[in-house]
Amino acid sequence: MDSDLAQRIAKITSTLSPSVRSIAVSKTVSPERIRDAYAAGVRDFGENRIQEATAKQDQLQDLNDITWHFIGHLQSNKAKIALERFDWIHSVDRLKLAQTLNRFIEKGCPSPILCLQVKLRPDPNKSGWTVSELLADLPALEQCKALNIQGLMTIAPLGLDESETRAVFRETRQLADRIRALNLPGISITELSMGMSGDYPLAVAEGATAVRLGRSVFGER
């Protein structure tokens, strides 16, 4: 048991409202340390690479009440395994991928909770819909009837000051409000997956329902 880890987890838990889901991002973290976090009470874990994640999941099968979150760029050829292995996919970042997921679910694959990844500022290193792209794709997304779309996910660009970062989170919430107001059958946008170790208090202040914390839980990678 790692007492520093347990203390960091306790501290984060004490500062977050129980209504905000705190996801421990365990990319690059060993199964042993995931077990330690589990022993300290963590049940939500986030991974960004399918191969790494499934290898660790295989070693942690006895911890059968973990909720697994996929948060990385998902290639279409890994779409099926992502459906089979994750309870949430936060990083649905393009229509083609949504349509691929929809086809697999129609054929009987599990149907995890999905978030649409949006990009509120230009960022060549990040994928996701811009606001106008997402609004344009909504009718096609609505046709993906098997999908369980419940939220938006965003990553604030590095190097913004606090007020700029907060604006990114605020605009994400406003976009969710705007989509909700359209009352599209099958698209409910109540989850806001936003905030990482460096900026999660700002995200929570702007209405995040899920924060994705790597370094602040497990230490520097």
Ligand X SMILES: *Cc1c(COP(=O)(O)O)cnc(C)c1O
For ligand X, the closer of residues 29 and 179 by Cβ is 29
Of 138, 121, 212, 144, nearest to 178 (Cα)?
A: 138
Under the rule (CB under 6 A), what is the footprint of ligand X?
Answer: 25, 27, 48, 71, 155, 196-198, 212-216
For ligand X, the closer of residues 13 and 143 by Cβ is 13
For ligand X, the closer of residues 99 and 197 by Cβ is 197
Report the SS3 class of residue 35: helix
Q: Cβ(142)–Cβ(106) under 8 Å? A: no
For ligand X, the closer of residues 55 and 140 by Cβ is 55
Report the SS3 class of residue 23: strand
- The partner residues of 21 in beta bridges, in order of sequence, read 210
Of 128, 117, 199, 130, nearest to 166 (Cα)?
A: 199
Q: Cβ of residue 219: shortest distance to ligand X, in angstroms? A: 9
Q: Cβ of residue 196: shortest distance to ligand X, in angstroms? A: 4
Q: Cβ of residue 220: shortest distance to ligand X, in angstroms? A: 8
Q: Cβ of residue 212: shortest distance to ligand X, in angstroms? A: 4
Q: Cβ of residue 135: shortest distance to ligand X, in angstroms? A: 23
CA atoms within 13 A on the CB side of 88: 27
Compute and round to an integer the Cα radius of gyration of the chain. Answer: 17
CA dist 25 and 119 (Å) reads 20
For ligand X, the closer of residues 105 and 210 by Cβ is 210
Phi (first) and psi of residue 55, to 5 degrees: -60, -40
- Residue facing ligand X at closest CB distance: 214
CA atoms within 13 A on the CB side of 65: 5
